[in-house]
Amino acid sequence: MYNLIGAGLIVIGGGIGLGMIGGKAMESIARQPEAAGKIQTAMIIIGALLEGLAFGALILGK
């Protein structure tokens, strides 16, 4: 039971984080379209790190 609550919390946190990363990346691409490639790469890397954290917590907590 607590496991499931924890998993839910992890997913919520990860979702908020990913949303913020994506939103900010979109903003910066809109502001500087010529730097879109670099921003995308950085976004994907940070997203991956966050994802790894979320998955790690999810699997360790399961």
Partner 1 sequence: METLLNDFSVGLFFMQALILLIIILLMRKFAWKPILDALQSREDGIQEALDAADSAKLEMQNLNASNEKLLQEARLERDSMLKEAREMKDQMITAAKDEAQVQANSMIEQAKDAIENEKKSAIAELKTQVASLSIEIAEKVVRQELANKDKQMELVESMLGEATLSN
Partner 2 sequence: MVATKSIKFLVVFVLALTSFSAFAQDDTVGNNLIDSPDEIQAYIAHHLKDSHDFHLYTNNETGVHYGFPLPVMVWTSNGLKAFMSSAFQHDDNGTIIVDKDNTKLVKYHSKIYELEANATALSFDDANHPTNASKVLDFSITKSVFGMLLTGLLMLLAFGGLARGYKKGKIIPKGFSRILEPLVIYVRDEIARPNIGEKKYRKFMGFLLTVFFFIWILNMLGLTPLGFNVTGQIAVTACLAIFTMVIYMVSGTKDFWAHTLWMPGVPYVLRPILAVIELVGFILIKPFSLLLRLFANITAGHFIVMSLVALMITLKASFGPIASTGMSLVLALFIMFIEILVAFLQAFIFTMLSSLFIGMAVEEHDEH
Q: Which chain residues interact with partner 2 by CB under 8 A?
A: 41, 44-45, 48-49, 51-53, 55-56, 58-59
Q: Does 62 bind partner 1 (CB under 8 A)?
A: yes
C-alpha span between 44 and 21 (Å, rounded)? 9
Q: How far is the CB of 50 from partner 2 (least distance, A)?
A: 10
Q: Are 43 and 51 in contact (CB under 8 A)?
A: no
What does DSSP assign to residue 28? H
Q: How far is the CB of 60 from partner 1 (least distance, A)?
A: 5
Cβ–Cβ under 8 Å, residues 46 and 28: no
Contacting residues toward partner 1, per CB under 8 A: 59-60, 62
